[in-house]
Chains A and B, each alone.
Chain A
Amino acid sequence: MKNTAELRKTIDVQEAVVTSDPFIENTHRYGRLWMGLTFLFMLAVPIVVGTYYDVHPVFKDVAKGLLGVAPIFWTVALIEIITFTPMLGTGGSYLGFVTGNLTNLKVPCTLMALENSGFKQGTKEGEIISTLAVATSSIVTVIIIAIGVFMMAPLTPILNSEFLKPAFDQILPALFGGLAVVYVSKNAKIAAVPLIFMVVIFSLIPSLASAVSMFVPVGAIIAIISARIMYKRGVL
């Protein structure tokens, strides 16, 4: 465990590197360009499909359908940006938000890569490691799904088998159990209050589970407040 002076020195060095680095500046430039092009591509898909088949969407139904999902999903998107971008770093954020599957894949993969390498997010080394992790994970996902799609006929009975069903149904507890040991054990004081709160709230009101993404910032706020109190009292 580093003492306060050492920690302050490390952070000062990290700060100087990350705020003035041309690599990070260029990452923003390239990231905006790629994301902007992806955005245009994304909008082009329904336009191209509609034009090719000479069919047009029913705008009233689009608006109604959107009304059903937008209030929740636009809020979740905002929450994910605030919560995940500090973990993913600059390159990892631009790429991760384009390639999706953040909670179940890109974020844990990045946390694991940072932990194994010993570098912290916020340093340039951390930026390199997180970008490598998100990019690799994105490439592997695309390849596996492509293989699956083109071998759908032989694979479907195996993947949908009753034998394997529990394994895929329970992938999140299996993933977060291991992650918890790594992070909770190192930050037990900060983890205690939000963890107890979440266990109690989901045990008492199971229906909230469908909105778990909305509880990520709630957990963060609780953790920040309790950490702040402990920090001020010199407990951390």
Chain B
Amino acid sequence: MFNLNSVFLFVVSGTFIVFVLCQAIFFLIRAYREGMKMGMEKKVLMRTVKTSIAFTIAPAVSILLGVITLSKFLGLPLPWLRLSILGAITYELTAAASAAATMGISISEAITSGQIYVTILWVMTLGIIPSMVLIPLFLKKFQSGMSVIKKRDPIWSEHFMTALFMGMISAFLGVVFKDVSKGLVGFISVFIMMFSAAVMIVIGLLLKKYKIKALEDYALPISMLSGMAFSIFITGVIGG
């Protein structure tokens, strides 16, 4: 019988992950060296690395939960590969579910056929192709286009970039309100967002008064983790 967790599949996934890890290390070292060469302060570069580590831990554990979810259907090696690099749970789960549905199988049970496994693997692979093709081909041209906007009107270009940021942030803030029609339970996400925002405001006030640099660097991880901790409390109080 086909083994979803075979050593071979672990080796294939592991090799690919190590390859991408090398890529990340290459870009990290290259950027660090260039930063030092151009006279940026070492402590600024190191602080960026440290705060990025602190910020990444909680979302990475959340991604690990996605690996666990998918592993019930696809085994461990494939979700390990797809969520360590390339994808995100929303995409991978949907792609796997779409492929499974066309073959009339359920994603609640482990795959037992090699052919079904390879078919799903192809759907997941082909579904993620555009960015892998478009970025190498068009990123430079796209950036040149953005430069033209900048040259034409530098002030507007600054506002244009801010508006792009705001587009993303407003969409993810707006979606927090999706369940408000369900009554108090539907406000849980809103309360958590507000709590996280309140923690950030308190940190801002403390910063103004005490000027602790470390607090500024870790403000976002602290507010995020506080929001997550608060979610345990508020869900217990309201239910949901």
Contact check, A140 vs B57: say whether CB atoms are below 8 A apart: yes
Contact check, A77 vs B134: say whether CB atoms are below 8 A apart: yes
Q: Among A136, A171, A191, which residue has its beta carbon within 8 angstroms of that of B52?
A: A136
**In the bound complex, CA of A70 to CA of B176 (Å):** 26
**In the bound complex, CA of A143 to CA of B51 (Å):** 16
B206 surroundings in chain A (CB, below 8 A): none
Given A49-B117, A90-B139, A146-B84, CB of A220 within 8 Å of CB of B200: no
24 contacts between A and B (CB under 8 A): A7-B155, A15-B150, A18-B147, A39-B132, A58-B115, A66-B127, A70-B126, A81-B139, A94-B135, A97-B131, A100-B87, A107-B168, A135-B24, A135-B28, A141-B63, A142-B84, A160-B68, A170-B188, A171-B59, A175-B227, A176-B173, A176-B196, A184-B169, A190-B166
Give 1 or 0 for each of A176-191: 1 = CB within 8 Å of chain B CB: 1111111110010011
Interface SS of chain A: helix, strand, loop or mixed? helix
Contact check, B161 vs A144: say whether CB atoms are below 8 A apart: no
Interface SS of chain B: helix, strand, loop or mixed? helix
Would you give the shortest CB distance from A186 to chain B, in whole angstroms? 8
Q: How large is the interface on A (under 10, 10 to 19, 20 to 34, 35 or more residues)?
A: 35 or more
A231 surroundings in chain B (CB, below 8 A): 155-156, 159
Contact check, A159 vs B163: say whether CB atoms are below 8 A apart: no
Contact check, A144 vs B68: say whether CB atoms are below 8 A apart: no
A104 surroundings in chain B (CB, below 8 A): 59, 62-63, 88
Give 1 or 0 for each of A7-34: 1 = CB within 8 Å of chain B CB: 1100110010011000100011011101
Q: How large is the interface on B (under 10, 10 to 19, 20 to 34, 35 or more residues)?
A: 35 or more
CB-CB contacts below 8 Å: B102-120 with A: 102-103, 113-115, 117-120
**In the bound complex, CA of A36 to CA of B135 (Å):** 10
B166 surroundings in chain A (CB, below 8 A): 183-184, 187, 190-191, 194-195, 219-220, 223
